[in-house]
Amino acid sequence: MGTDTLHSGAKLPKGYRKWPRTAAGCEHGAMTLLQPPLALLLDVDGPLASPVTRRVSPDIIANLIELVRRGIPVVFNTGRSDAFIAEQLMAPMLEAGLPDGAVVHAICEKGAVWFSFTQDGPGTIHVDRELAMPAAYGDDVRTLVASSYAGHMFFDETKRAMVSVEQHVEVDSASYLAEQAKFDADALALLAAHDLGAVRLEHRAPGSAGTVDYRVDPSIISTDIESVRLGKDLGASRAVELLAAQGIVPQAWRTVGDSRTDYAMADWLHHQDHVVKHVDVRPAEGVPAKPYPVKTAADLQLGDDVVNDFAGAAFLQFWLDGLAK
Ligand SMILES: [Mg+2]
């Protein structure tokens, strides 16, 4: 069936290598620590990819690889598609040289899609079809964008479960945000036309069955239309499962994000009794009270102007420095 079976009974896709069960077995490749001191669960847009260029800097790629080489699990948890992660993170990491035996997990589309990669490339792309938007709705949004919004935004053809529309890089933020408000209203009207109950921020519009199964989720550069069951908390649960299938149980987690919704990673981990600290790389809205520590660039003695991927890079370096001690 194209799967390898680990002795835990967990199945891994074809192409995955079995690796030594202890760090002692790895002399030349990545250490596989079964109880690593840290595991990283990283939102991509903001902490790693610049919200301006949408690209990941070579310094961040190098530090991610070094963390992997030290045996620190690195898991991406993003609303982006697997194609975006393959292009912006996997390809440069493979080009820079992923260590022998290392596995990096990517949870995409807020938990609906996931895959893992090694130095040999990506494994199977998994899609939870139950969490996908109806195709007819996606077709209508594609047509809407082409007819009314193509100057400011584009339909993301790489999504497998979500319907996402994103700002053109060359459009300035203020004019995008003004158009986005109109697009979101149209997207909600289309949901109603398909009798799909939906919510956008505080606004709830149940379908005829009285249920709200879908969400319109605006960010500063895009709008996602998705199942309400998707979220960074679902991504966190998949991350724990993917590591457990390798026999890896981290002693502590660090979650990193730039949005309020990213706190759901740490909320879920904390609720499941994992030790977690959350890093907010864009705390412009303030830091909410949480039952776990929340860190910002100020905790690294950096100024308020160090945000997004600059703050993300600083924290990756901070954790690497901590491992060196
Ligand atoms: Mg983000």
Q: pLDDT tens for residues 61-100?
A: 999 999 999 999 999 999 999 999 999 999 999 999 999 9
Residues recorded for the chain: 325
| Averaged pLDDT, 231-245 | 98
Return all residues near 212 (Cβ < 8 A) that are at least 6 apart: 197, 198, 199, 204, 205, 206, 228
Please give the model's pTM, rounded to 2 decimal places: 0.88
Q: Which CATH number fits domain 35-128+231-324: 3.40.605.10, 3.40.50.720, 3.30.1330.50, 3.40.50.1000?
A: 3.40.50.1000
pLDDT number for residue 62 = 98
Would you place residue 29 in the very low, low, confident or very high pLDDT band (cuts 50, 70, 90)? low
Q: What is the DSSP letter of 267?
A: H
Token readout for 168 is 């053109």
> 79 alpha carbon to ligand 1 midpoint, in Å?
8
> 6 alpha carbon to ligand 1 midpoint, in Å?
34
> 139 alpha carbon to ligand 1 midpoint, in Å?
26
Would you place residue 324 in the very low, low, confident or very high pLDDT band (cuts 50, 70, 90)? confident
> 252 alpha carbon to ligand 1 midpoint, in Å?
22
| Averaged pLDDT, 275-294 | 96
Q: pLDDT tens for residues 174-230?
A: 999 999 999 999 999 999 999 999 999 999 999 999 999 999 999 889 999 999 999
> 42 alpha carbon to ligand 1 midpoint, in Å?
9
Determine the number of helices (DSSP H) and then strands (DSSP E) in the chain: 8, 17
> 44 alpha carbon to ligand 1 midpoint, in Å?
6
> 1 alpha carbon to ligand 1 midpoint, in Å?
36
> 51 alpha carbon to ligand 1 midpoint, in Å?
8
> 220 alpha carbon to ligand 1 midpoint, in Å?
9
In this structure, are residues 32 and 249 in contact, taking their beta carbons and an 8 Å threshold?
A: no
> 77 alpha carbon to ligand 1 midpoint, in Å?
9
pLDDT number for residue 9 = 35
| Alpha-carbon torsion (174, 175, 176, 181), positive or negative | positive
| Averaged pLDDT, 92-116 | 97
Average pLDDT of the residues of the chain = 91
- The yes-or-no verdict on residue 276 having pLDDT over 60 is yes
> 55 alpha carbon to ligand 1 midpoint, in Å?
13
